[in-house]
Amino acid sequence: MRTQIATLAFACLLAVTGAMAQNLNTPAPGRRAAPPAPDGTLGMALMGAFVDSDGTLIRGAGATSVTFISTGQFVVEFNRDVSTCFYSAVAFDTAAVFVVHPNGTILNSLAVQLVYGDTHEPVPTSFYLTVFCAR
């Protein structure tokens, strides 16, 4: 009996979730949907890079190169302007804290500095960098 109730509850949850998901791109009442970008996409880009501690670009989506400045300091270049995007960096193997910001006047690159704890001393570590560019 419990199994039947759990199965029925799960089926109801799937049905409600599916019905809600069908309306994700429908604007709220009284609002207009934003037009698509000229290329027919939603006008956004999700890019990323997996960078080794020595500055090697292990793999990337939209990332074209990495320049190693010094221990824990890098410049990651992308194939488009990222100066007005949102970004986040996460350490691969340590509890490092990151400072990520646009790289001055070079609009297609981000400066990444890895710091650790309260001392803000650079730590050599691999990291993931995610960049989201909205319209």
Q: What is the pLDDT of residues 8-51, one digit of tens each?
A: 444 444 444 444 444 445 555 666 655 556 666 656 789 999 99
Q: Is the pLDDT reported for residue 71 higher than 80?
A: yes
Give 6's pLDDT tier (boundaries 50, 70, 90). Answer: very low
Q: What is the pLDDT of residues 110-125, one digit of tens each?
A: 999 887 766 667 778 8
- From the number of C-beta atoms within 10 Å of its C-beta (0-12, 13-18, 19+), residue 21 rates as exposed
Residue tagged 């020595």 (tokens): 54
Instruction: State the Cα–Cα distance between residues 98 and 104, nearest whole angstrom.
Output: 17
Give the single-character DSSP code of 62: B
pLDDT at 8: 44
Closest C-alpha among 95, 91, 98 to residue 114: 98
What residue spans define the domains of the chain?
45-133
Burial 44-72 (b: 16+ CB within 10 A, else e): ebebbbbbebebebeebebbeebeeeeeb
pLDDT at 1: 54
pLDDT at 32: 62
